[in-house]
Amino acid sequence: MRADKIYLVGFMGAGKTTLAVALGARLDWRVEDLDAVIERREGARVADIFAMQGESHFRAAEQAALRSLLPPRQVVVATGGGAFEAAANRSLINQDGVSFWLDVSLKRVAARLRVEDGRRPLAADRAAMERLFHARQSTYREARVRLDAEHATTGQLVEQMVDWLEERQAS
């Protein structure tokens, strides 16, 4: 496990992108949002990729985008909510850096998501989103580090992560 790259995993709306930006600023590391990388590479929004080409095409594009982010170091990567679900992606992530799971409740996720904006196709159906949330929990538990992000502020989470990294460097 290399501690010179951080991957943030968790359900949509967990705060991965917000935390990635704050942590990147604190560490003076590059920040990448996996969905934004996919959108640049595909020339389309995530929702449009899902609608026009389907989830399987999106997942293939997601893995290609993830692989493109393997070489650089000192990077914080905010993954999409489903990126960690694929065993191949989990393996890549956990070999390449440290995965931190932002663990939040379904209630908090639902409060954060604006389904009507169309940006999150897998959140459009509330019942399906709830099933997906529960189905992904066991996968997220395979992250190297769990962060209780339910009530912590972004600043508190950043400091927890920096403390964790500093402990690893000292040993």
**Predicted local confidence at residue 119, as pLDDT:** 53
Asked if 139 contacts 85 with a C-beta cutoff of 8 angstroms, the reply is: yes
pTM, two decimals, is 0.91
Report which residue type is found at 78: A
Task: Report the C-alpha gap between 168 and 22 in whole angstroms.
Answer: 20
C-alpha distance across the termini of the chain, in Å:
14
- Show the domains of the chain with their CATH numbers: 5-163 (3.40.50.300)
Task: Report the C-alpha gap between 167 and 151 in whole angstroms.
Answer: 24
Residues β-bridged to residue 99: 7
Angle in degrees, CA 91, 75, 80, rounded to 5: 55
**Predicted local confidence at residue 115, as pLDDT:** 47
**Predicted local confidence at residue 169, as pLDDT:** 79
φ, ψ at 68 (rounded to 5°): -65, -20
Asked if 150 contacts 108 with a C-beta cutoff of 8 angstroms, the reply is: yes
Task: Report the C-alpha gap between 147 and 22 in whole angstroms.
Answer: 15
pLDDT tens figures, 50-71: 889 998 999 999 999 999 999 9
Q: What is the pLDDT along the chain (171 residues), one digit of tens a residue?
A: 578 999 999 998 899 999 999 999 999 999 999 999 999 999 999 989 988 999 899 999 999 999 999 999 999 999 999 999 999 999 999 999 999 999 999 888 877 765 444 455 555 667 778 888 999 999 999 999 999 999 999 999 999 999 999 988 776
